[in-house]
Chains A and B, each alone.
Chain A
Amino acid sequence: MRDFALMMIGAALVNNVILARFLGLCSFMGVTTRVDTAAGMGLATTFVITVSSMADWAVQHYLLDAYGLGFLRTVTFILVIASAVQFTEMTIKKVSPKLFQMLGIYLPLITTNCAVLGVALLLVEGKMGFMSSTMFAFASSVGYSLVMIIFAGLRERLALVQVPRLFAGPPIAFIVAGMLAMAFMGFSGIATS
């Protein structure tokens, strides 16, 4: 139990998907102009990462390993992820059309969110069991959502600030993200994994 908790904290905070592993940066920069959009994106991505990691684990275990098809890993994983995204898209469209409209182009782009494929590949590299890989995926995506929401909050403030014209928009956002990354480095003492 203790191991699980430490691993989850490690995945969410210490080795944060965005700030330490540099995965999912397109959505990190793209949809964090408002807190509610960022939260919606975080939620959708959390769902996709968790579901697709479970499916990818099964595929890796029972299909690729069993038949020695390791070289097809990239192709199969991306197919699994694309289906998970399609499923999420249909669900959101039905449940919350407003969120669907806000997320816009970024919803189908979850497929190409490197965080999703990245986490799946990390799991394969880590050779984890089903339970721990699901937990790891879930914790990673919670860390992802957390950083998305924090950063969106920062950017809402940033929009009101007078910034030199050359720095306006993305550059200042990057620098703020750098500082956030520094702050997150403070977590590195909590858990090691």
Chain B
Amino acid sequence: MANSDYKTIVKDGLWDNNGVFSMLLGMCPAMAMTTSATNGFGMGLATAVVMAASSWLVAIFRNRITTEVRIPVYILIVAAMVTVVDLGMNAWMHELYKVLGLFIPLIVSNCLPLARLEAFAAKQPPVSALLDGLFMGLGFTIALTAIGAVREIIGSGTLFADASLLLGPTFKVIEMRLLPADMGVLMMILPPGGFIVTGLLVVVKRLLDLRAGKEIQMTGAHAV
């Protein structure tokens, strides 16, 4: 029984209930940090680490946290994890840290981790919670990388530019130039592009779900 449960958690996190494309949570970094695929990837991974760690911690203490003070406690746990990631990235991935800047501390106020803590980790055993946090985070990473890739390809014609600089020299191989430099549509890199690409990618996800014979979700997690 546990096995199929874990499978659902993984599938929900990565695709069915994807934080960005289905639940429409965590939109701020999903648009602000996706001017390139590399930035989106880095931001997504940082969020995934925070989500996995805080889900696990909340699940451990779930019987001790009373309902009245649960939100402050959750936020403090997330804030502590974010501080750890913040300092860690500053030390070991300084280039990426400089690019992501403001949005690393802002993981605290990302709705996605808090929503998962409230909806999932508060009621589940630590292992499931850890998995849920991890895969929700990875789903988030996939979404951010996808948005970033589309914006980067159309906007500046490259894909994963600067990956070696930001993530480490091993990532040199994935740097690509798909279009000549002067073909870029600047609008895609600027704020409006973020909104439009995200909107279109939600449509793409619905289309794929429809192809697979699934009901498409007409609304996000909150009644839109």
Contacts and interface: CB of A to CB of B under 8 A. Distances in A.
Contact of A181 (B195, B220, B222): B195
B194 interface: yes
A59 interface: no
B181 interface: no
A33 to B, nearest CB: 7
B83 A181 contact: no
Interface stretch (B22-30, B124-132, B160-168): B22-30
Given A24-B28, A166-B203, A166-B207, A75 B83 contact: yes
B109 A174 contact: no
B109 A116 contact: yes
Interface of B: 24-29, 31-32, 71-72, 75-76, 79-80, 82-83, 86-87, 102, 105-106, 108-111, 114, 187, 190-196, 198-200, 202-203, 206-207, 210, 216, 218-220, 222-224
A25 B31 CA distance: 9
A55 interface: no
A118 B102 contact: yes
Interface in A107-126: 108-109, 111-114, 116-118, 121-122, 125
B195 A177 contact: yes
Interface in A85-139: 105, 108-109, 111-114, 116-118, 121-122, 125
B222 A30 contact: yes
Q: Dominant SS at the A interface?
A: helix
Interface stretch (A5-13, A15-23, A39-47): A15-23
A10 to B, nearest CB: 15
A74 B108 contact: yes
Contact of B199 (A20, A25, A74, A178): A178
A173 B102 contact: no
Contacts of A54: none
Interface residues of A, number: 49
Contacts of A117: 105-106, 108-109
Interface of A: 19-26, 28-30, 33, 71-75, 78-79, 82, 105, 108-109, 111-114, 116-118, 121-122, 125, 166-175, 177-179, 181-182, 185
Given A26-B27, A166-B207, A174-B199, A185 B109 contact: no
Contacts of B86: 74
A79 to B, nearest CB: 7
Given A29-B27, A173-B199, A111 B220 contact: no
A3 B114 CA distance: 39
A160 B76 CA distance: 42
Contacts of A109: 111, 114
Contacts of A118: 28, 102, 106, 109
- Name, among A19, A28, A72, A74, the residue most crowded by chain B CB atoms within 10 Å (CB to CB): A74
21 contacts: A22-B191, A25-B27, A29-B220, A74-B105, A75-B76, A82-B71, A82-B72, A105-B222, A108-B71, A111-B71, A111-B75, A112-B111, A114-B28, A114-B106, A118-B109, A122-B102, A171-B199, A171-B202, A178-B194, A181-B195, A185-B191
